[in-house]
Amino acid sequence: MLQVNFLRKNKERVLEGLKKRNFKELDLVDAAINADDERKRLQFELDSQLSEMNRISKEIGILMKDGKKEEAEAAKSQTSQYKESSKELQNELNEAEKTLLNILYQIPNIPYEKVVAGVSADDNEVVYESTTVEGLGEGAIPHWELAKKYNLIDFELGVKVAGAGFPVYFGKGARLQRALVQYFLDKNTDAGYQEVNVPHVVNEASGYGTGQLPDKEGQMYYVGADDLYLIPTAEVPVTNIYRDVIIDEKDLPIKNTAFSQCYRREAGSYGAHVRGLNRLHQFEKVEIVRIEKPENSYAVLEEMVEHVKSILEDLELPYRILRLCGGDTGFASAMTYDFEVWSAAQEKWLEVSSVSNFETFQATRLKCRYKGDGKTQLVHTLNGSAMALPRIMAALLENNQTPDGIKLPKKIAEYARFELIN
């Protein structure tokens, strides 16, 4: 969330940033400033009345001591009137604060200077490509057919048990999933990330804290009886560990990694691009989360990008890195790199990871700060997928198919304890 004082002092910069995002509701900036003006007016009026009440209360004591009973009673009556008026002002102030907060919740983060203007994924910048990609030719089989051929994944059974988008993994398919999760976690902990095991449901405050609410409310599964949300990513509970926390400077940076199931309604998704593992309602993912001092965060973002690159190198998959344009950058992010792997049978790129710097956007909502040199200031938060499994699995199956079966990359074969799926 952007702070209203930032909007006031940097209005032109904010408007330019929102235009870079192709954000249409620019009037929300003025609406936030006006709402804050009203909040300040009510606060001043309330403070003035409370101050006057205190002055009169002291005066009453003096009048009673001097035996001026009638004047004291008149002063008491005046105090009662102020009390009623103050209650009304407090209610108005509470409403004004809610109005301001609701407006601020609707304004996305401002893109970093390197982010180009754009409307959609077509405007994203390719900043790195690992190799020239090629299809496998006419005999190439897409992963959903390979999964059926080798009894790895049953999509129809998932429909029976839960619904579309909830596959069931069997045998080597299940073992390969487990191996990938273990490899990703080991890779992350070897790089200095602390593994944490977090809840797979969060409360409303946690959803607001990381920016999923109210922006993506319709995409989250909601458990009404308990007022909880199924997590769309481990980023949400991991980052919320530090909600309402003042971190000692010596404890920075904080580096966490977590495995979780992820749940996304993906409302409105349909068509060929959602076949098989391309888009699911439940999937497994390993996440990395960083809490950093502001001056370090963009160097750390590049470090996280290099870390994800190293994972894809181990997986021996063709991949590319994109820096997202303003219109394709997530609501809370200041800058995001997407990683895509090449699907050889489908002959298209599949997104498998996003690595983002949120600057102070999440920290403002979370009230996550650090204390150093006698000052308390907001941290920067960052996160990345390292990695999401479904499309990695799809690419591994498709890119490694041979006449004898599917031959796993050496690193993953070590974890899976088998080299060939046949």
Per-residue pLDDT tens over the stretch 32-51? 999 999 999 999 999 998 98
Position 74 scores a pLDDT of: 80
Residues near 324 by beta carbon (within 8 Å), at least 6 away in sequence: 115, 121, 124, 333, 335, 336, 337, 338
Per the annotation, does 383 bind a ligand? yes
Per the annotation, does 266 bind a ligand? yes
Per the annotation, does 306 bind a ligand? no
At CB < 8 A and 24+ separation, what contacts does 403-407 make? 405/150, 406/146, 406/150
Residue 370 has pLDDT above 70, yes or no: yes
**Bond before 214 cis per omega within 30 degrees:** yes
Regarding the domain with residue range 4-104, which homologous superfamily does it belong to in the CATH classification?
Answer: Serine-tRNA synthetase, tRNA binding domain (1.10.287.40)
CATH 1.10.287.40 location in the chain: 4-104
Residue 181 has pLDDT above 90, yes or no: yes
Are 128 and 24 spatial neighbours (Cβ–Cβ below 8 Å)? Answer: no
CATH number of 121-421: 3.30.930.10
Position 26 scores a pLDDT of: 98
CATH 3.30.930.10 location in the chain: 121-421
Mean per-residue pLDDT over the chain, rounded = 94
Residue 379 has pLDDT above 70, yes or no: yes
Residue 272 has pLDDT above 90, yes or no: no
**What is d(CA 243, CA 291) in angstroms, rounded to the nearest whole number?**
12
Per the annotation, does 264 bind a ligand? yes
Position 207 scores a pLDDT of: 96
Per the annotation, does 265 bind a ligand? yes
Per-residue pLDDT tens digits for 52-91: 888 887 788 777 777 787 787 787 778 788 788 999 999 9
Residue 249 has pLDDT above 80, yes or no: yes
Per the annotation, does 354 bind a ligand? yes
Per the annotation, does 352 bind a ligand? yes
Are 220 and 206 spatial neighbours (Cβ–Cβ below 8 Å)? Answer: no
Residue 274 has pLDDT above 80, yes or no: no
